[in-house]
Structure 1
Amino acid sequence: MRLTVLGGCGAWPTATQACSGYVVEDEGFRLLVDPGYATLPRLLTHLSVDAVDAVLLSHGHPDHCADLNPLLRARGLSDAPPPPLPVFAPHGAADAVLALDKPSMLADAYELHEFSPGDRMDIGPFRTDTWLLPHFVPNAGIRLSTSRATLAYTGDTGPSPDIPRLAEGADLFLSEATYLRQVPSSGDAPYLLTALLAGQYAQQAGAQRLLLTHLWPGTDPSDALKTAAETFSGPVDVAVPDLAIAL
C-alpha cells in the first residue's frame, strides 16, 4: 500500500499547499480520498484523470470534496470519456459539489455509492471500515486494510473514544490536527483536534506512524511535529504535497 499526499491544508488552500487530498494505491488500484480545494492540479502531476479508479469522501465540506467537480469535468467532457467513476460518500455529502453542474452534464461521469458512517464496504482491494466521528457535518473516519497494511484516517473530527479504535495497530494514522494544543473556540472544540491530542490517540492505538494533516493555514509544521511528539513516541510527519509513504 502506498499513500501520496496531494495536500493537507485546513479550511482553504495557500500558495504552496492544497487542501486535504490523498491517493492510496494497492495492487494497481488508485483510490482518491478527499479531493479538496486545489488538489486536482497536484493529482495531475502524478496521474492522468482516467487513472483514478474510485473516489472516497470523508464528509461534505468543500476543503475535502470541491475538486471532485473539475475531476469529473475532465473525465466526462473529454473526447474519449473513461467509464463512470465510482464515488463513495456519506449520505448527502456529495450533493452540493455534484449540483454545481446541471445533472445531465456529468451524469455519465460517475456512479454514486452512498453509505452511513459505521458501514463496511469493499473498494477495489481495500476493506473499508468507517466510524461516525464528531464534526460540524456527518464525518466518516476511514480505515483502509489489505492483507499487508492498514491506513487509518480521521477525516475532520473532534475528540472521540472511537479514534483509538479506528487507528488500532495501524501502519499509518493520518490524523487531522487543526491546532497545536488547544482549539481556540469553545464552540469548535467538540469538532476539531489538536496535534497534542492526535499524538495521544496514536499512542493509545499503538499506531506505527503518525501523519498530521488539516493544519490551520500559517501553522509552522515544525511546531506541530514537536507538539505531537510530546504524546506519541513513534515517527511523526506532516502531510505536505508529494509526500509519498509506503506502508
Structure 2
Amino acid sequence: MRLSVLGACGAWPQAGEACSGFLVEHDGFRLLLDLGYATVPRLLRRIPAEQVDAVFVSHGHPDHCADLNPLLRARALGGRSSSPLPIYAPAGALDAVLALDRPGMLDDTYVVHDVLPGALFELGPFRAETRLLPHWEPNAGIRLVADGRAFAYTGDAGPSRHVVDLAREVDLLVAEATYPDHVPDHSRRYLSSARTAGRQAAEASADHLLLTHLWPGTDPQIALAAAAETYGGTLDVAVSDFTVDLA
C-alpha cells in the first residue's frame, strides 16, 4: 500500500501548493482521498484521469472536493474512454460541485455511493470503515485495510474518540492539524491542533502520524514540535509529493 500526497493545505492553496488530496495505491488499484483545490494537475503528473479507479470524499467543503469537477471533465472530454467513476461521500456532500456544469454533461462519468458512517464495505482491494467525525458539515473519516496493513484519514475533524477508534494500531494516520496548538474558540469543536492529533495518535497506538491541513503560512516545524509533545512515533508533515510506503 502506498500513499502519495497531492496537496495538504487547509482552506486555500498557498503559492505553489494544493489543498487536501491523497492518492492511495494497492495491487494496481488507485483510490483518491479528497480532491481539493489544485490537486488534479498534480494527479495528472502521475497518472491519466481515466486510470483513477475510485474516489472517496470526506466532506463537501471545496478545499476537499473542488477538483472533482476537473477530474470528471478530463474523463468526459479527454478523448479516452473510461467507465463511470465510483465516488463515495456523505449523502449530499457533492451536490454543489456536481452542479457546476450544465445539466447532464457529466452524468455518464460517475456513480455516487452515499457513505453510511459506521458501515463496513469493500472499496477495490480495501476493507473500508468510516466514522462520522465532528465538523461544520457531515465529515466521514475512513480506515482502509489490505493485506495486513491499515491506514486512517480523518478529513477535517474536531477532537473525538471516534478518531482514536478509527486509527487503532494503524500503520499510518493522516490527521487534520489546522493549528499547531491553540484552536480558536469558534472552531474548537470542529477542527484540531497538531497537539491533539499527536495525543489521539498516541492513544490509538498508530505507528506513523502524518499531519495535514495546516493553515497556510504555518511553520511546519512548530506543528511537528507541538505534536511531538504528545506523540513519540514516526512523525511528519504532509507536503505535495510526499510518499509513504506501508510495507
TM interval, short-chain normalised: over 0.9
SS at 1:137 equivalent: coil
CA deviation profile, 1:151-179 (whole Å, cap 9, x unmatched): 11111000111111110000001000000
1:175 aligns with 2:182: no
* Contact 2:50 2:80 (8 Å CA) reproduced: no
Please state how far the C-alpha of 1:146 moved relative to its aligned partner. Answer: 0.7
Equivalents in 2 of 1:36, 1:89: separation in Å? 14
Q: Report 1:201-240 matches (<5 A).
A: 201-240=200-239
1:113 aligns with 2:103: no
Moved over 4 A (4+): none
State the Cα RMSD in Å. 0.8
Q: In the alignment, residue 178 of structure 1 is paired with which amino acid?
A: T
* Contact 1:33 1:56 (8 Å CA) reproduced: yes
1:245 aligns with 2:244: yes
Q: Report 1:57-72 matches (<5 A).
A: 57-72=57-72
Equivalents in 2 of 1:118, 1:92: separation in Å? 17
Q: In the alignment, residue 100 of structure 2 is paired with which amino acid?
A: L
Q: Which residue does 1:200 correspond to in 2? A: 199
SS at 1:64 equivalent: helix
* Contact 1:84 1:110 (8 Å CA) reproduced: yes
1:88 aligns with 2:88: yes
Equivalents in 2 of 1:70, 1:36: separation in Å? 11
Deviates more, 1:29-38 or 1:77-86: 77-86
Identity of aligned residues (%): 59
Equivalents in 2 of 1:159, 1:131: separation in Å? 13
CA deviation profile, 1:85-131 (whole Å, cap 9, x unmatched): 11111100111100001231001111111122222211100111000
Q: Which residue does 1:75 correspond to in 2? A: 75
TM-score w.r.t. the length of structure 2 is 0.98
CA deviation profile, 1:6-34 (whole Å, cap 9, x unmatched): 01000001112200000001000000110
Q: How many positions carry a matched residue from both structures?
A: 246
CA deviation profile, 1:47-101 (whole Å, cap 9, x unmatched): 1111110000001100000000000000011223311111111100111100001
Unmatched tracts of structure 2, length 5 or more? none
1:191 aligns with 2:190: yes
CA deviation profile, 1:204-227 (whole Å, cap 9, x unmatched): 000000000000000011111111
SS at 1:198 equivalent: helix
CA deviation profile, 1:139-158 (whole Å, cap 9, x unmatched): 00100111221111111000
Equivalents in 2 of 1:150, 1:69: separation in Å? 29
